[in-house]
Structures are given as C-alpha cells and as structure tokens.
C-alpha cells in the first residue's frame, strides 16, 4: 500500500497555516472575484470515523463580515494536487452548526490514503477560496496484518502547549483515537491555569462554559492551536467525549462542577455541550435524535475491532465520594452503593450493544476505547490515608511514608516468608482490618459490578481483550482480572496531552516514589509513569498487542525534547 511522505505533507500544511492564519491573510492576497465575499477556513480541516469505504470530512467556514451560510464543495483525491479526484459533493457551513460543515465521503477504496479539501462553491478557480489540504485513510479490508493507533486524552489549553499532537504526526500512527477531555470547561481561574497568561493561553470565552455559544467558542480556541490543526489534517480521528467536554465528573443526572441553583438545568448544559462536540469533531453522529448515543464500532481488517464507549451521561450512576465513605453517618450507605450488584456505568442498552458487537466480531483483538481506568487500582486504606495530599507537614509526610513502607514490607514478607509475618503485618494485609478501595472512584473502581459484567462477557466469549483508557493524565499498563483473579485482558492508559498528572496531585512525593508506591501496592499494575505528558502508541499484530508511550519534556515552553518508553506487550 502506498504511504505518502507524511513529513513532507505536514511541512506543506504548516506553510499553508502560516500563510492563512485566521483566514484573513488568504482573503487579503487571494486575488478573487470582488463580487463574491471571501470565506475563511480559520480552523483548518479534519477527518474522522473512517470505514472501509468512507470517511467523515470536517471544516469551519464563514465570511469575515457576515453570518451568512457558506456553500462548499468537498473533494477527495488520490494525490495532493487533486488531479485524481475520486469523490466529491456539497456541504454548507451555517450558523445553525456554528459555521462548521461535515460530509460523509463515500465510494472510497479500503486501506487507502487520500487527500481532501473544501472550496467555496462559486464560479471560478480562485485558490484563495480553498481550504487547507488534509490527509486521511480508510480502514483496511480483511486480512490486515498490522495496525498503529495514536491514543490521546486530556488536552488542556491553559495547562500547556499541545506538543504531543505534533509528535503524533512524526510517528508511524495510522489513525488517532481521542478518549476525551478534548476541551476543558473551566473559566480563566480554573484548573491548571496558573501559567496560562505567560504562555498566551488564557481560555476564551473568559468564563466557565455553560451555553452552546460558550462551548462553541471554547472549541474554536482549541481548534486554533497550530499543533491541533496539524494533527487534525494529518490523519483520521476516532473520538469520544469524557467529562470535561461537559463538566467535571459528569454522570447521568449532573456533575461535580455543576450547580443547578446558579447554573441552570444540567440537561440543558449537557445538550449544549454535546451539540457543540458533534459540530466541532469529525464524527459520524449515530443518532441525531439522541446525541448522547456516541457508542460505535470500527473493524480494522479483521485484526482489531475498536468499540468506542460512552461512560458519562447514558448510564453512569452518581459517583461515591470519599467524603461519604469517611463520614460515619453515611459510610454504610456509601459502601452499599459502591458494592451494589446493579450499579451502572454503561447502562443496560449500551452494555447489550457491546456484548452483541463482541459476540458477532471475528476480529483477533476486541479493543474498548473508553475514558476511565478499568484496571483494579485499589489501595489499602492505610496507604490511601498516607498519600493524602492534605498531609503537608513534615511530620505527617514522614508518618505517611512509614505507613506505606510498613505495608510494602508486610506484602513482601507474605510473598517470601509468610511464617515470619508479625501480628501487625497480618493486620495490614487483612482485608477486614485494612480494606482496599480504588484511589479514583470516578473510574471503574467505583463501579465494580459494571466492570465485572464487561470483563466476564469478554471472557465468556473467549475474546482477546485490550482496553484503552485516558482521564488520569498518567501512563499505565495493567492486566485485567475478574473478581476471582483470572486474567481476562490488558489495559493501556494514555497520559495527557497537557493536563498535569500525579506530580501535581502528589507534589510532596518525587515521581520515582509515586511510581514505586503504585507498582508496589497495586497487584495488577505492570507499568506506571506519573509525571510526563505525551501519548500512547498502540500496535497490533495477529499475535501481539504492544504499547509504547511517547513523552515530551515540557508543555510549558515551546522548545522541548522527546523520549519513548520500552514497549509493554500482551499476547492474550
């Protein structure tokens, strides 16, 4: 299969971006027909949701001095010069969609690379009326022998530069998979914004996003980022939202970062947020009558079936909080809620869909693309208390480190010489006296029955399961186990594009200490990196799934270096 020179393509695209800026420069030097207003393509182009015979195309177009609709023609060609156009059609960028336009380009060949563009639908051939050129590809036909996916999550504009997006285009990834937090909803004083002014990355609008206009403006800002534009034009994107596209810790009936008394009905905010997401992402909307239903599947030539899940606003019950677990008045009810056999994450309809998709798929690998960690990241309460960020005094930190070391020593002794365990060590290892809890109850650890249903389904179907996760801003690899301890799959968690990780949350610990604690305490955890931003490069062959993390040295400066982890492999 012909593979275009992506570096050369990115150089051409970057040159176009430098010339076009917000679109005004093109208008000024285009030499077009003065009788027709000049459209601006200020946010570039993107493609997504590829299938074997089609792919979604996206752009944003509007006139400088008018909110009128922009009539567009889209074209898909085998070559960047567009001498071999294989598919074309018409689209419209209107105020009803925030001046975004999407098209489903059909009639394409499987496993092929293509170039695409939009142009203003008027007479003549003025190059100033053309969008930048994008590169995309369709899914392979049956018999695929290899696959490379760039797995992305948590791109926070005020937290830092999107260097990792640019690095994806320098990798051998064929498709990008974004697992959510494509934007963040906070205002200018919100999460991870301390350095925003110095980097010129203060959020717009200068308020927390609540309305459709707010979310549209926030997407426009994120889409204006040059690294975001370069990645969007370089390869097709398969995406799903997490919570921050709506509000922090969203669930079916609300969110931690939403107060109905002052911010209105959560459903109105959710619907506005999801409409903007569907407008600004190059996705194929499965159900226009219910924008929440974004779950869908992609088959990569029988090698891997990627099932994208929605874990926020379709079926998720409200999170159990540590505050409720620690309060004697609510602890018993909170524990019962956490352990309920009917506790939902996906909802019955989506779970049934997933079970059917896996049962019918003949792909070698069943891959779940979803937001939050599914692996068992459980800690004994003695260790959870020890790593509490509230332990700021030297005395509290010293006591915390001793508690952690006591547990790790007891665990090591039990593995090597159980007869040597002291009574105090036995108590530390006794789940009745020192019970384990997930450190993050917003993840699947807060929904154990729902997790067991998903994992048991894959095991019963005898599927080779790989789960992809984002959300935590750290890199992880874990074996996935049932409650009885059987290994039924493997999870790869990507780090963030720019949001801070454990180095910020557990600032009192050195990154090496944090990693040592997690690796020592969590039985199923096989890899951890808790202080670096970047992305996950997943490769699949018929015999192996393998993940490598590409890290950038900083997101706070324009100059940076990169590093790559050793591969972590799973054979199923």
Please report, in angstroms and rounded to a whole number, the separation of the first and last CA atoms in the chain: 28
Alpha-carbon distance 531 to 304, whole Å?
Answer: 30
Q: Closest Cα to residue 467, out of 567, 373, 359?
A: 373
pLDDT of residue 34: 54
Determine phi and psi for 136, rounding to 5 degrees: -145, 180
Other Cβ atoms closer than 10 A to 165: 24
Distances (CA, A) of 66 to 27, 40, 94: 14, 11, 11
- Give the pairing type, strands 55-60 and 45-48: antiparallel
Q: Is the peptide bond before 205 cis (omega within 30 degrees of 0)?
A: yes
pLDDT of residue 296: 99
In sequence order, which residues have a C-beta less than 8 Å from that of residue 36 and are 6 or more positions away?
Answer: 120, 122
Helix (H) or strand (E) holding 63: strand 62-63
CATH of 142-312+364-371+465-572, picked from 3.60.21.70, 3.30.1600.10, 3.40.50.300, 3.90.1150.10, is 3.60.21.70
pLDDT of residue 390: 83
- For helices 212-224 and 226-234, the axis angle rounded to 10 degrees is 80
Alpha-carbon distance 116 to 47, whole Å?
Answer: 9
Is residue 447 a contact partner of residue 349, using CB atoms and an 8 Å limit?
Answer: no
- For helices 226-234 and 6-20, the axis angle rounded to 10 degrees is 140
Helix (H) or strand (E) holding 468: strand 464-469
Q: List the chain pLDDT tens, one digit each, 572 residues.
A: 333 444 444 434 444 443 333 333 333 334 444 568 999 999 999 999 999 999 999 999 999 989 999 999 999 999 999 999 999 999 999 999 999 999 999 999 999 999 999 999 999 889 999 999 999 999 999 999 999 999 999 999 999 999 999 999 999 999 999 999 999 999 999 999 999 999 999 999 999 999 999 999 999 999 999 999 999 999 999 999 999 999 999 999 999 999 999 999 999 999 999 999 999 999 999 999 999 999 999 999 999 999 999 999 999 999 999 999 999 999 999 999 999 999 999 999 999 999 999 999 999 999 999 999 999 999 999 999 999 888 888 898 999 999 999 999 999 999 999 999 999 999 999 999 999 999 999 999 999 999 999 999 999 999 999 999 999 999 999 999 999 999 999 999 999 999 999 999 999 999 999 999 999 999 999 999 999 999 999 999 999 999 999 999 999 999 999 999 999 999 99
Other Cβ atoms closer than 10 A to 172: 11
Alpha-carbon distance 394 to 319, whole Å?
Answer: 32
Task: Extract the tokens encoding 254.
Answer: 């609300």
pLDDT of residue 392: 84
Domain ranges, ordered by start, for the chain: 1-138, 142-312+364-371+465-572, 379-438
Q: Which CATH architecture has domain 1-138?
A: Sandwich (2.60)
- Give the pairing type, strands 113-120 and 134-137: antiparallel
Q: Note every long-range contact of 524-528, with CB atoms under 8 Å and residues 24 or more positions apart, other chains counting.
A: 524/375, 524/376, 524/478, 524/479, 524/480, 524/481, 525/375, 525/377, 525/476, 525/477, 525/478, 526/477, 526/478, 526/479, 526/568, 527/475, 527/476, 527/477, 527/565, 527/568, 528/474, 528/475, 528/476, 528/477
């Amino acid at each position: 299969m012909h593979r275009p020179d992506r570096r050369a393509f990115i150089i051409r695209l970057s040159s176009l971006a430098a010339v076009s800026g917000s679109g005004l420069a093109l208008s000024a030097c285009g030499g077009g027909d003065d009788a027709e207003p000049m459209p601006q393509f200020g946010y570039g182009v993107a493609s997504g949701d590829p299938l074997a015979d089609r792919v979604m195309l996206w752009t944003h177009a509007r006139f400088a001095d008018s909110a009128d609709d922009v009539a567009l023609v889209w074209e898909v060609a085998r070559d960047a010069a567009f001498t071999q156009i294989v598919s074309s059609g018409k689209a419209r960028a209107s105020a009803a969609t925030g001046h975004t336009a999407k098209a489903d380009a059909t009639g394409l060949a499987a496993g092929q690379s293509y170039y695409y563009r939009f142009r203003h639908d008027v007479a003549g051939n003025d190059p100033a009326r053309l969008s930048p050129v994008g590169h995309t590809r369709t899914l392979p036909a049956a018999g695929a022998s290899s696959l490379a996916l760039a797995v992305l999550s948590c791109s926070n504009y005020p937290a830092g530069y999107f260097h990792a997006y640019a690095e994806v285009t320098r990798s051998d990834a064929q498709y990008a998979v974004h697992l959510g937090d494509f934007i963040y909803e906070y205002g200018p004083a919100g999460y991870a914004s301390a350095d925003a002014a110095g980097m010129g990355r203060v959020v717009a609008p200068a308020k927390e996003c609540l309305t459709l206009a707010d979310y549209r403006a926030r997407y426009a800002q994120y889409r204006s980022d040059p690294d975001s534009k370069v990645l969007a034009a370089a390869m097709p994107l398969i995406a799903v939202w997490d919570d921050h596209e709506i509000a922090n810790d969203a669930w079916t009936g609300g969110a931690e970062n939403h107060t109905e008394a002052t911010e209105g009905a959560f459903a109105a905010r959710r619907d506005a947020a999801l409409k903007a997401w569907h407008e600004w992402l190059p996705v194929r909307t499965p159900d226009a009558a219910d924008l929440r239903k974004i779950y869908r599947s992609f088959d990569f030539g029988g090698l891997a079936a990627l099932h994208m899940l929605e874990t926020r606003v379709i079926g998720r019950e409200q999170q159990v909080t540590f505050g409720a677990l620690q309060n004697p008045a609510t602890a018993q009810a909170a524990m019962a809620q956490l352990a309920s056999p009917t506790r939902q994450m996906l909802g019955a309809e989506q779970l049934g869909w997933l079970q059917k998709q896996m049962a019918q798929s003949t792909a070698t690998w069943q891959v779940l693309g979803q937001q939050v960690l599914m692996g068992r990241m459980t800690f004994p309460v003695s260790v959870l208390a020890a790593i509490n960020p509230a332990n700021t005094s030297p005395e509290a930190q010293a006591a915390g480190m001793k508690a952690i070391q006591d547990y790790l020593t007891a665990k090591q002794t039990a593995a090597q010489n159980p007869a040597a365990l002291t009574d105090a060590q036995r108590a530390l290892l006794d789940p009745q006296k020192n019970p384990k809890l997930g450190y993050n109850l917003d993840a699947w650890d807060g929904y154990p029955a729902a997790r067991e249903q998903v994992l048991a389904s894959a095991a019963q179907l005898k599927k080779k399961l790989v789960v992809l996760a984002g959300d935590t801003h750290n890199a992880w690899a874990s074996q996935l186990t049932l409650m009885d301890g059987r290994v039924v799959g493997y999870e790869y968690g990507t780090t963030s594009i720019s949001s801070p990780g454990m180095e910020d949350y557990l600032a009192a610990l050195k990154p090496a200490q944090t990693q040592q604690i997690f690796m020592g305490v969590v039985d199923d955890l096989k890899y951890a990196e808790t202080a670096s931003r970047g992305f996950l490069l997943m490769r699949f062959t018929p015999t192996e799934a393998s993940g490598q993390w590409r890290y950038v040295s900083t997101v706070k400066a324009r100059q940076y270096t990169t590093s790559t982890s050793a591969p972590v492999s799973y054979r199923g």
